[in-house]
Amino acid sequence: MNIIALKNNIKEGLNAISGARKESSNLPVLKNFLFETFDGKLKISSTDLEIGISYFIPAKVIKDGSLAIPFLVFSQIINNLSLERISLESKGNNLLVATDNFKAKISTNSKDDFPIIPEAEEKKDNFFIFDSDYFIDSLSSVSCACQVSDIRPELGGILFSFKDGLFKLAATDSFRLAQKVFSEKKIETKHEKDESFIVPIKTVQEIIRIFSSKKGEKIKMVFEENQVLFKTDQVRISSRLIEGKFPDYETVIPNDFETECLFDKDDVISALKLTSSLSNRLNEIRFVVDESLKNIKALSSSNDFGESEYILPAKIKGSKTQITFNWKFLLDGFRNIKTTNVFFGFNGENKASLIKTPDDNSYFYIVMPIKSS
């Protein structure tokens, strides 16, 4: 192998694949990343056996080849080089790294020692194409409701669902639930059958991290029974799918509310941030809708520090109520509303409450109250 590449391009690639790296004492090879030429480009890849990430780097390929290189050693060298142009050449079991004022020899392994990264095979109808900005924003809006669970693995991922021509994302940790329904104009597909699978939250987090900087691109998602692949011309993220059945969450979506509130999103976020400073160890904040139905009081108290009260102006319809929530869960929901006004529907302290944009059901966030002791 003999190539010439630019330092900043290599740094960008190393940062992209870093999330799939695993410092495993049982499998030392996973401390390496795969370094190979592919179609006149430099391709680098890493895997932790659950997720694999590949990144294509522009380079001048003088001679093809492949190596498995220790990630930490190589990245430390690249990050500290002062010059931009780098020569990379393999000699036996070593990689020679050179610039005009520096050279190093790194011990490497054979490509054959590196695990194969499986990828879903694209067919005529097993794919969806998304606008990257819309897709990343949609994933971000539901991922906050996901939490890894050893007891219920199916809750540790995002549900990707295509049914009756609608594409949906959903996540739940059993205390809250978020769903995003895609506009038909925001997807391209030849797939016609109903389909659903669960993508691990780690994979989703890597998709958000890597593709957030790829503005204006198209992301193609290819899926098979046990694998899913997300790709652009430069990046490929391959992942296993989570086995198991996602909860039948649609049965818990409330359609009617005893109390409905409309208020300014920034106002409620300010209320949560201020009152949370004096909430207890359970992150409790109590919402009180009084008999006048003209405002909501956000109340918090701590045995150690004191108490607070925030008067939140609102348009209220329905009955007075008092409900306690985890303020962190509420804040996640309100932050994902894109409009100035926000709808908040209550059904007492024993049933789910719902947050959404008024007159728009494409996204909602459901949170369970904390029952009074």
Position with higher pLDDT, 187 vs 25: 187
Task: Give the per-residue pLDDT at 238.
Answer: 98
By percentage, how much of the chain surpasses pLDDT 70?
99
Mark out the alpha helices in the chain (DSSP H runs). 7-17, 71-80, 132-143, 201-211, 265-276, 327-335
Residue where a domain terminates, one of 191, 220, 249? 249
Residue 104 structural domain: 2-113
Instruction: Say how many Å lie between the first and final Cα of the chain, rounded.
Output: 68
- Tens-place pLDDT, residues 25-81: 678 889 999 999 988 899 999 999 999 999 999 999 999 999 999 999 999 999 999
- pLDDT confidence of residue 311: 94
State residue 91's pLDDT score.
94
Both 186 and 239 in one domain: the answer is yes
Is residue 134 predicted with pLDDT exceeding 70? yes
Helix, coil or strand: residue 31: helix
Q: What is the mean pLDDT of residues 103-112?
A: 95
Task: Report pLDDT for 254.
Answer: 92
SS3 14: helix
State how beta strands 295-302 and 363-367 pair. Answer: unpaired
Average pLDDT over residues 98-111: 95
The per-residue pLDDT for 85 is 97
Q: Residues 111, 98: contact at Cβ < 8 Å?
A: no
293 and 315, same structural domain? yes
Report the C-alpha dihedral over residues 254, 255, 258, 260, rounded to 10 degrees: 100
105 plus 167 within the same structural domain:
no
Domain-embedded: residue 118: no
Which of 180, 215, 249 lies at the terminal end of a domain, its last residue? 249
The pLDDT of residue 373: 55
Tokens of 78: 């690249």
Residues 262 and 241 in one domain: no
- Per-residue pLDDT tens for 159-186? 999 998 899 999 999 999 999 999 888 8
pLDDT at residue number 195: 93
> What does the pLDDT read at residue 35?
95
The DSSP-derived string for 157-181 is: EEEEEEETTEEEEEEE-SSEEEEEE
Q: How far apart are CA 112 and CA 23, in angstroms?
A: 19
- For residue 251, what are its two tokens? 């049965």
Q: Are 342 and 355 in contact (CB under 8 A)?
A: yes
CA distance 188 to 208: 20
The whole-chain average pLDDT of the chain stands at 93
pLDDT at site 39: 83
201 & 273 share domain: no
Residue 15 has pLDDT above 80, yes or no: yes
| Residues 80 and 57 grouped into a single domain | yes
Q: Dihedral sign for Cα 90, 6, 53, 217, please.
A: negative
> For residue 281, what is the DSSP state?
T
- Quick one: 280 and 316 in the same domain? yes
Give the Cα separation of 65 and 67 in Å (integer).
Answer: 7
The model's pLDDT over 306-349, given as tens digits with 9 standing for 90+, comes to 999 999 999 999 999 999 999 999 999 999 999 999 999 999 88
pLDDT category at 266 given cuts 50, 70, 90 is very high
Rounded Cα distance between 324 and 289, Å, is 12
Give me the pLDDT at residue 372, please: 65
3-state secondary structure of 192: coil
Residue 119 lies in a domain: no
Q: Are residues 243 and 134 in the same domain?
A: yes
Residue 147 and residue 77 share a domain: no
Rounded-to-integer distance, Cα 31 and Cα 70, Å: 6
Cα 295 from Cα 350, distance rounded (Å): 22
**Phi and psi for 216 in degrees, rounded to 5?**
75, 10
Confidence category of residue 151, pLDDT binned at 50, 70, 90: confident
Q: Which residues sit opposite 33 in a β-bridge?
A: 69
For residue range 189-248, what is the model confidence (pLDDT) as tens digits? 999 899 999 999 999 999 999 999 888 899 999 999 999 999 999 999 999 999 989 999
d(CA 2, CA 63): 5
pLDDT value at residue 178: 97
Q: Report yes or no: 111 and 34 within 8 Å, Cβ to Cβ.
A: yes
Question: According to the model, what pLDDT value does residue 309 have?
Answer: 95
Residue-wise over 346-364: b if at least 16 C-beta within 10 A, else e?
A: bbebeebbbbbbeeeeebb
Using 50, 70 and 90 to split pLDDT, how confident is the model at 156?
Answer: very high
Q: How confident is the model at residue 294 (pLDDT cuts 50, 70, 90)?
A: confident
Which CATH number is 350's domain given? 3.10.150.10
Q: What is the DSSP string of 283-340?
A: -EEEEEE-TT-SEEEEEEEETTTEEEEEEEE-EEEE--EEEEEEHHHHHHHHHT--SS
Phi, psi torsion values for 365, nearest 5 degrees: -135, 120
Residues 226 and 267 in one domain: no
Please check the confidence at residue 350 and state whether its pLDDT lies above 90.
no
How much is the pLDDT for 25?
Answer: 60
Which of 191, 217, 249 represents a domain boundary (last residue)? 249
| Residue type (1 letter), 57 | I
Residues 139, 206, single domain; the answer is yes
Q: Is residue 243 domain-shared with residue 335, that is, in the same domain? A: no
Q: What span, in angstroms and rounded, lies between the C-alpha atoms of 133 and 161?
A: 19
CA atoms within 13 A on the CB side of 258: 14
Is residue 77 in some structural domain?
Answer: yes
Task: Report the Cα 84 to chain-centroid distance in Å.
Answer: 32
The rounded distance, in Å, linking the Cα atoms of 190 and 114 is 35
